[in-house]
Amino acid sequence: MSKYVYSAKSNAFYPTIMEKEYVSASMWPSDGKPCEEDLFAQFSGSPPEGKVRAPDEDGYPKWSDAPLPTVEDLKIDAENMKAELIAYANTIIMPLQDAVDLDMATEMESKQLYEWKKYRVLLNRVNVSNAPDISWPTKP
């Protein structure tokens, strides 16, 4: 008897030892195909780079090419990148601003503060809805 079944509908493995619990919870897959441990081991771990697990034409797992990111995914990635870059700029700006505020800044620190603030302004102007065609400003 197989230790697992694979459901093409849910793209998931189910251990047969827990069939009773899945059935009582109305979660046992009606399309489950028996599979051996070697198939489970091959397709239950991390996929090869650029691949995802998907059902084949017979209802068993296979590695397929990962789908390309959607425009919405790219916008979310750009939004996250923008937030990270702004947060990083803030960590540089804060101590430089302290030095200026306390009249302790060197000429170099004052110049750095100006450049980092300019960079932060340019970051805030980045329109992430243009992803993936975004021209990111260069760090000072």
Provide the pLDDT for residue 131.
Answer: 92
- Is there a single domain that holds both residue 77 and residue 116? yes
Secondary element (H or E) of residue 107: helix 107-124
Is residue 82 in a domain? yes
Q: Give residue-wise pLDDT tens across range 70-101.
A: 999 999 999 999 999 999 999 999 999 999 99
Is residue 58 in a domain? yes
* CA 137 vs CA 16, 24, 90, 93, 108: distances in Å: 55, 57, 15, 16, 21
pLDDT in tens, the chain (140 residues): 789 999 999 999 999 999 999 999 999 999 999 998 999 999 998 999 999 999 999 999 999 999 999 999 999 999 999 999 999 999 999 999 999 999 999 999 999 999 999 999 999 999 999 999 999 999 99
Domain of 98, in residue numbers: 71-130
- Is there a single domain that holds both residue 26 and residue 78? no
Domain end (from 44, 65, 86)? 65
